[in-house]
Amino acid sequence: MTPLRVALAGNPNVGKTSLFNELTGARHKVGNYAGVTVETRAGAVVPRLSPARPITVLDLPGTYSLTPIAEDEAVAFRCLAGAEGDPPDVVALVLDAANLARNLYLAVQLLELGRPLVVALNMMDVAAEAGMPVDPAALARALGVPVVPTVARTGEGIARLVEALGSIEHVPQAISPLRARLLADDDALPAPPGIGAARWRWLVSAAAAGTLELAGATAEERAALAAHPAADVTAAAHARVIARYREVDALLAEIGFTAAQRERAPAMSRSAAIDRVLTHRVWGLLIFVGVMATIFSSIFTWAEPLMGAIESLIGWLSEQVAAALGPGVFTDLLTQGVLAGAGNVLVFVPQIALLFLLLGVLEDSGYMARAAFLVDRLMARVGLHGRAFVPLLSGYACAIPAILGTRTITDPRDRLATILMIPFMSCSARLPIYVLFISALFPADDRVGPFTVGSLMLVGFYALSTVSALAAGAIWKRTALRGPTPPFVLELPPYRLPRLRNTLLHVYDRTADFVRQAGTVILSVTVVLWVLLSFPRPPDAPDGGRAVAEAVQVDPAAHVPEGMSQGAAAHVPEDMLQATDEDSPIIHSIGGRIGKAMEPVLQPMGQDFRMGIAILGSFAAREVMISTLGLVYGIEADDENQTPLREKLREAREPDGSRRHTPLKGLAAMIFFVYACQCMSTLAVVRRETRSWKWPLVMFATMSALAYGLAVLVYQVGRALGYT
């Protein structure tokens, strides 16, 4: 049996995605702010809801109107209008029962469109709590379509909704008085031959809004519109909007809403009192800065015990594998490649999970929209508005969904500028790199007030990335993407307590994605890098380089660096006297030779060939940098020293006994990773969203040059000032 195709439509933030998750058993992200869904998702209704026939549900982006003014609204319009394929068999319109006056305009438009319609009257609990209960039967009579009360957060009414959707085809769709009035209302500009009346109305509205491209107008349709003066087109569109709002007022009166009730937003009464503080032009900004600083400092501090436990577990596993299998290439692959490489990435899972948890709480509570409102004045100086800050904040988690989130931005130049800003935001893949260098190279116990130096450094890097993103946006908006600053209109949702189950499921899914990537992409790249770093073997060292490492201990004098007398070398602690680069077992490998070839370019930023190999690997995914360093130090130590990577970096010494990785070198490396664009998936998404290779290549080139230049500047200035 052919599945029934049902499109979930509605205003932003009315619970469509929550309803979709309940219907299909999916766990897509939900958030208490507009713009969470920016592309169409599909899923089948789960069998436990007993659908009469198979049902495929399409979750559309939220839209206030069927006249699209942004790409996400255009996605919804094209699906509902059947502009890019068959239209849905049924439209399930999700209405917010607590904000019915705002939602009914879209209902009127869908009635005009003529698709079979079922209304899911959602958030009935919120409306009842606010003292504004809605009578579903009265609304059904007024609209002339089935109305099912639901509470998507708890699953209430979902089974009845499925039943109504499954039976809609068997119920004759009588034309309600409302729809009859909408269809009979004469337009000032009648539809020309060959274009349907409903389609013509949408073309007129899109022409008046300047969004014909988003409406998918053909050349013939554009020609038909061009035959009328622009003033007449605009006047006809305005008249149609006024007629629809007149019908909305009539609907509200018919179901018993008084004039006072129509103006109320009951769910916002308590939120308005909170907003007097949280959106205050001074206190609100201070609170926002404090909230973000607390989040990033707590990530560094709270996850440390779990990190240590995972490091100990990986070290223990490596010892057990080595003892069970004995010496050999396969043992080296497992201990030096899989465990020392990909295993070191898993050490940072606690930070990743904590980041997603804290950001998820902000999103679900409704605070994310307030953050956009607070920074609107700052964004205006960049040339953008506060709506662009929502995808920027999402970039702290991952750049890819953040770039997709720019579809809510109406102006193409503003959207492109925001896309080019997002990769500067420190995503979750950069977090393990920051934590690795900070915890390995900087004092763990030093404090500034209640905060550790490490946590303040982490906050500083996130602040640096945010300021850099804003600076990049300002440059683009004043040069290649110059344009006026758009007005800012944003819906502030009511504050809600996050649902613990949904938040934890979101954290689990995102963390599982990170672990899955560590077990697939990162593991695969790590194994390839292990081969490149292990072969060919060093001369006269068929045992994998152990003879070279032992030679340093047997005859330290043979490894006194050039320019140092043996007498001076005698005062260097024996455990700090290291092999030279030429003695490293990886220097003869393919990867080692590539790293040595890169070293002259890396030395100005304080990095050696080992870091060069790690940087090269990180262009596949930033997390590979950690697994690559684990590989390098695991192979050089021949896996005899099962110490965590952080300790290996801290204890690594040059031939003269000085630290190989100093705080200054670590700072330069972190500066490089703040700015370098090293995510191939991000570049691919930018290519898809901009429909050109120009902008991803420009982004990659400019960010790479900036990363290298600033890393060199930091290291050279630090050396000149005498810092180590």
pTM over 0.75: yes
225 among annotated binding-site residues: no
- Kindly list the structural domains of the chain, giving each domain's residue range(s) and its CATH number in brackets, ordered by start: 4-180 (3.40.50.300), 278-478 (no CATH), 520-720 (no CATH)
Upstream peptide bond of 536 is cis (omega within 30 degrees of 0)? yes
Burial 234-253 (b: 16+ CB within 10 A, else e): eebbeebeeebeebbeebbe
What is the C-alpha to C-alpha distance for residues 722 and 82, in angstroms, rounded to an integer?
Answer: 68
pLDDT of 598 > 90? The answer is yes
Q: Is 14 annotated as a binding residue?
A: yes
Neighbours of 601 (CB within 10 A): 12
Count the neighbouring beta carbons within 10 Å of the beta carbon of residue 685.
20
Has residue 122 got a pLDDT over 90?
yes
Give the mean model confidence (pLDDT) for residues 698-703. 96
State the pLDDT confidence band at 450, using cuts at 50, 70 and 90. confident
| CA distances in angstroms from 328 to 316, 325, 466, listed in the order given | 19, 8, 48
**Is 68 labelled a binding residue?**
no
The pLDDT of residue 333 is 86
Measured over the CA atoms of residue 131, residue 137, residue 139 and residue 145, the dihedral's sign is: positive
pLDDT top residue among 667 and 166? 667
How much is the pLDDT for 112?
A: 85
- Residue 28 — pLDDT band, cuts 50, 70, 90? low
According to the model, what pLDDT value does residue 706 have?
97
Provide DSSP, 6-51: EEEEESTTSSHHHHHHHHH-------SSTTS--S-EEEEPPGGG--
Q: Give the confidence band of 523 by pLDDT, cuts at 50, 70, 90.
A: confident
> Is 16 part of any known ligand binding site?
yes
- The annotation status of 37 as a binding-site residue, yes or no, is yes
Give the DSSP letter of residue 519.
I
Per-residue CA distances from 664 to 167, 335, 546 (Å): 69, 31, 32
Identify the DSSP state of 95: E
Q: Measure the CA–CA gap between 126 and 152, rounded to whole angstroms.
A: 11
- The answer to whether 335 is a known ligand-binding residue is no
**Residue found by looking up tokens 């004098």 in the block:** 557
Please check if 31 is assigned to a binding site.
no
CB 78 within 8 A of CB 216: yes
pLDDT digits (tens, 9 = 90+) for 671-683: 999 999 988 889 9
Task: Give the CA dihedral 269, 271, 274, 278, nearest 10 degrees.
Answer: -140
Q: CA torsion angle for 449, 450, 456, 459 (degrees, to 10)?
A: -130
Q: Is 473 labelled as part of a ligand binding site?
A: no
Q: Is 12 annotated as a binding residue?
A: yes
The structure tokens 């190999």 sit at: 613
Position 33 scores a pLDDT of 45
Q: What pLDDT sits at residue 672? A: 97
Q: Which two tokens stand for residue 668?
A: 């330069």
Lowest mean pLDDT among 432-441, 484-493, 530-539, 546-555: 546-555
Beta carbons of 146 and 118 less than 8 angstroms apart: yes
pLDDT at 509: 85
Give the model confidence (pLDDT) of 599-652 as tens digits.
999 999 999 999 999 998 888 778 889 988 988 888 887 645 568 889 999 999
What are the tens digits of pLDDT across the range 44-86?
A: 999 898 888 899 999 888 888 888 777 778 888 888 887 777 8
| Residue 59 among known ligand-binding residues | yes
568 has a pLDDT exceeding 50:
no
Strand 55-59, strand 90-96: pairing: unpaired
Q: What is the DSSP string of 430-492?
A: THHHHHHHHHHHS-SS-EETTEEHHHHHHHHHHHHHHHHHHHHHHHHHHTTT--PPPP-----
In degrees, rounded to 5, the angle at the alpha carbon of residue 495 between the alpha carbons of residues 494 and 501 is 120
Do the annotations mark residue 337 as ligand-binding? no
**Over the chain, what is the mean pLDDT?**
84
Q: Cα-Cα-Cα-Cα dihedral of 179, 183, 189, 190, to 10°?
A: 160
- Does 38 appear as a known binding residue? yes
314 against 670, higher pLDDT: 670
On whether 344 is known to bind a ligand per the annotation, the reply is no
103 is in an annotated binding site: no
29 assigned to a ligand binding site: no
Averaged pLDDT for residues 527-556:
63
The dihedrals phi and psi of 25, each to the nearest 5 degrees, come to 75, 10
Q: What percent of the chain has pLDDT over 90?
A: 33
